[in-house]
Chain A
Amino acid sequence: MGLQRAELVVPAATEYLELVGDFVSFMARRAGFADEEVARIRLAADEAAANVVLHVTARGVEEAFRVVCEEAADALTIRVQDAGEPFDLGAVPIPNLDAPLEKRNVGGLGIYLIRRVMDSVEIRPTAGGKELVLVKQRPGAAGETHGG
């Protein structure tokens, strides 16, 4: 089979996060990623989806959101799409990993983890809201980064 695109639409509720993770893991494995990379991609998708659920819940509405996985020759792209407003990723504070325990912030880790395990992370406006676009280079693809 050739390059595939698949999408999953689920209610914005935390109980569906495991399903999102299973879906993304399946697609990452299909794209040829090794187990430890599949685990990292799953973590990023879970954090992105959890972020959507958190904000939908905070708005007090019931909504669904969409997770799209797209294989390309050189990369796997995961789009987490919802009806929320785009926000400035650059404005999300970076946790101070050197801070002593009492000064470590309890929040703010999700986006940081995503940035650390994916090759690129962007937020784009869509017709109905926004999408968080996560890209991971496929094994052996030109431009693959290591140790990021």
Chain B
Amino acid sequence: MEVEISGTDTVAVAAVSGRIDAYTAPDVEEQLQAAVSDGRHLVVDLTATDYVSSAGLRVLLTLAKRSARGDFQMRLSGLQEAVREVFDIAGFSRLFEVRDTPAEALAELSGS
């Protein structure tokens, strides 16, 4: 698992590659929380994420709850089919704003 942070002055784009399971989730969480610590909005790009377990869902839910409190805005992008299925089963698809590409999500948040 790797997290690569890019983006702009106002939006962090965190591209997560590999697996988000109980082993990698603490590291993913730390890096995503760090990415928004300077007040930027957040795009979590899952284009290269091939697996998300409930541990990964917990990380994203924790961030979404912070986002809902107004700390920052958040988008997800690039969900692979297997990841989307886990989101659907867990009822997460309705909790997140999901875009096809990180560029689309970045453009949206750049205007806010």
**A and B from one assembly?**
yes
Residues of chain A touching chain B, judged by Cβ–Cβ distance below 8 Å, are 14-15, 17-18, 21, 36, 39-40, 42-43, 46-47, 50, 53-54, 95, 97-98, 101-102, 104, 106-107, 109-110, 112-113, 116-117
Residues A43 and B86 in contact, CB atoms below 8 Å apart: yes
Contact A47 B82 (CB under 8 A): no
Are B90's CB and A14's CB within 8 A?
no
Contact A101 B65 (CB under 8 A): yes
Q: How far is the CB of B59 from chain A (nearest CB, A)?
A: 9
A106 near B68 (CB under 8 angstroms)? no
The prevalent SS among residues of B at the interface is helix
**Tally of chain B residues near chain A (CB < 8 A):** 23
In the assembled complex, B6 has its CB within 8 A of some CB on chain A: no
Q: Specify which chain B residues have a CB less than 8 angstroms from the CB of A116 in the assembled complex.
A: 89
Shortest CB-to-CB span from B72 to chain A, Å, is: 14
**Nearest Cβ on chain B to A114's Cβ, whole angstroms:** 9
Query: B37 interface residue, CB < 8 Å from A?
Result: no
Whether A95 lies near B22 (C-beta < 8 A) is: no
| Listed A/B pairs (25) with beta-carbon separation below 8 Å | A14-B23, A17-B21, A17-B22, A18-B21, A21-B51, A36-B85, A39-B82, A39-B85, A42-B51, A43-B51, A50-B53, A50-B55, A54-B22, A95-B91, A101-B68, A102-B68, A104-B61, A104-B95, A106-B58, A106-B61, A106-B62, A109-B57, A109-B58, A110-B53, A113-B54
A52 to B25, CA, bound (A): 17
A17 touches B58 (CB 8 A): no
- For B15-44 the 0/1 string (1 means CB < 8 A from A) is 000010111000000000000000000000
**B95/A101 in contact, CB under 8 A:** yes
B11 at the interface (CB under 8 A from A): no
Question: B residues bordering A, Cβ < 8 Å?
Answer: 19, 21-23, 51, 53-55, 57-58, 61-62, 64-65, 68, 81-82, 85-86, 89-91, 95
CA distance A14 to B91 in the complex (A): 25
Which B residues touch A42, using CB under 8 A? 51
- Given A107-B58, A113-B89, A113-B90, CB of A18 within 8 Å of CB of B23: yes
Task: State which of A15, A21, A54, A95 has its C-beta within 8 Å of the C-beta of B90.
Answer: A95
